[in-house]
Amino acid sequence: MKHLLSKIYALIVSFRVFLYQKGILQSHQLKHPVISVGNLTVGGTGKTPLVGFLAQILQKAGYQPVILSRGYKRNNKSPVLLVSDIREIFCGPEECGDEPYLLARKLEGVPVVVGNSRYQAGRLLEDRYPNLIYILDDGYQHIQLKRNLNILILDATDPFGGHHLLPTGRLREPTRALARADAIVITRSHMPSETENLEEHIRRWNKTVPISYFHHDVTALYDARTGSRFQPRDFLGSSVIALAAIGSPHVFLYDLEHYQMKISDRFLFRDHHPFSQSELNRVLKRLEEVQARAIVTTEKDAVRLKELDFQEGQIFVLQIEPQPEDLPEYKKEFLNEVKFLLEAK
């Protein structure tokens, strides 16, 4: 039954793309350049950290990045919601969604706007800042908004979601959608994977697209209550409890083990799960039972835990940063592409 549903889903997705490509359905264009960052699969690919990484490159180069996001599972259903401007944050994670809030908190001076229509979200700030460049978060399938640079992310550990479309696999659209990419970023290249034939598969659909490889580094663990920071080596050999509600928990668990933490127990929930106090109490009780050093969670999960009751030293947050294999060269090529886009405008 699932295979039949996947075939129906593939027909619907392909027909939708065809309608936009032929101009039967209209794509809208914003006044400023749009850089889209997205993926082919559901679940985590390291997209949110990469969006933040690109925003910081633009910001340091003198541009004003503005992030446009859908705000998945947000409680505030306003058509357009300003999460933050260059000075302050206006809403919490429940109102705007986990990822937009996390980006707003991490990226000082970078506005974040959410809306089902990213075109309308983009128009909110289009005349407010000079040197404005939009970053469209999770935008690969949002083809009703035109983009100047289409960046596709592939997870090295599972680039094509089992090669089956939803609901059988995790693909949002057929792999021929690789043809729409202007640049491809392969994330988690540091993890065990089968990437030998990955570039060959990409070249079947896109002969000339530039391909970059990114790994991610654990840069710190910080106390979820106080913000006190520790180096990964400070947790070397420590017994911890893993707590996560993300799309790819295996990556989180791999990072803990890679930095030689001993996982005494794990509590894994579905992506975007809203933690309750009773659930956290169960994890805290387990912390005492196994006498582990601490609970370790992800940055995305930490924004949903912060309003719950726990003490200093009980929960630590794993901070990760994406890194290309050649950072100076990647920055140079990315900014050259941005300069070209601005000249073309």
> What pLDDT, on the 0 to 100 scale, is given for residue 39?
96
Number of neighbouring beta carbons within 10 Å of residue 294 = 20
Average pLDDT of the segment spanning 284-300 = 98
* DSSP E strands, the chain: 34-39, 64-69, 80-84, 112-115, 132-137, 149-155, 183-187, 211-223, 229-230, 239-244, 262-268, 294-298, 315-324
Closest to 67 in 3D by CA, of 58, 76, 77: 58
184 and 271, same domain (yes or no): no
223 and 305, same domain (yes or no): yes
CATH number at residue 31: 3.40.50.300
How far is the C-alpha of 107 from the C-alpha of 112, rounded, in Å? 9
Q: Do the domain assignments include residue 9?
A: no
Top pLDDT among 268 and 193 is at 268
Coil, helix or strand at residue 106: helix
Placement of tokens 């090295």 in the chain: 156
Closest to 71 in 3D by CA, of 41, 102, 40: 102
Percent of the chain with pLDDT over 90: 86
How many domains is the chain partitioned into structurally? 2
99 and 161, same domain (yes or no): yes
> What pLDDT, on the 0 to 100 scale, is given for residue 266?
98
Q: Do the domain assignments include residue 178?
A: yes
How far is the C-alpha of 267 from the C-alpha of 283, rounded, in Å? 7
pLDDT at 81 exceeding the cut of 80: yes
315 and 336, same domain (yes or no): no
188 and 129, same domain (yes or no): yes
300 and 336, same domain (yes or no): no
Q: Do the domain assignments include residue 151?
A: yes
Top pLDDT among 161 and 290 is at 290
CA dihedral 312, 313, 315, 318 (to 10 degrees): 120
pLDDT at 106 exceeding the cut of 90: yes
Domain that holds residue 67: 25-216+323-344
Q: Do the domain assignments include residue 53?
A: yes
Q: Do the domain assignments include residue 337?
A: yes
pLDDT at 73 exceeding the cut of 90: no
> What pLDDT, on the 0 to 100 scale, is given for residue 259?
94
For 204, counting Cβ atoms within 10 Å of its Cβ (0-12 exposed, 13-18 middle, 19+ buried), the class is exposed
- Mean pLDDT of all residues belonging to the chain: 94
Placement of tokens 């083809």 in the chain: 143
310 and 328, same domain (yes or no): no
Q: For the chain, how many residues are written?
A: 345
Count the alpha carbons within 13 Å of 285 in the hemisphere toward its beta carbon. Answer: 6
Average pLDDT of the segment spanning 62-89 = 96
pLDDT at 194 exceeding the cut of 70: no
180 and 79, same domain (yes or no): yes
Task: List pLDDT tens digits, range 262-286.
Answer: 999 999 999 999 999 999 999 999 9
CATH number at residue 247: 3.40.50
**In the chain, how many H helices and how many E strands?**
10, 13
Placement of tokens 């209209």 in the chain: 26
173 and 312, same domain (yes or no): no
How far is the C-alpha of 140 from the C-alpha of 180, rounded, in Å? 9
Top pLDDT among 129 and 196 is at 129
Task: List pLDDT tens digits, range 203-229.
Answer: 999 999 999 999 999 999 999 999 999
- Of the pLDDT bands very low, low, confident and very high (cuts 50, 70, 90), residue 195 is low
Task: List pLDDT tens digits, range 43-60.
Answer: 878 899 999 999 999 999
Q: Do the domain assignments include residue 154?
A: yes
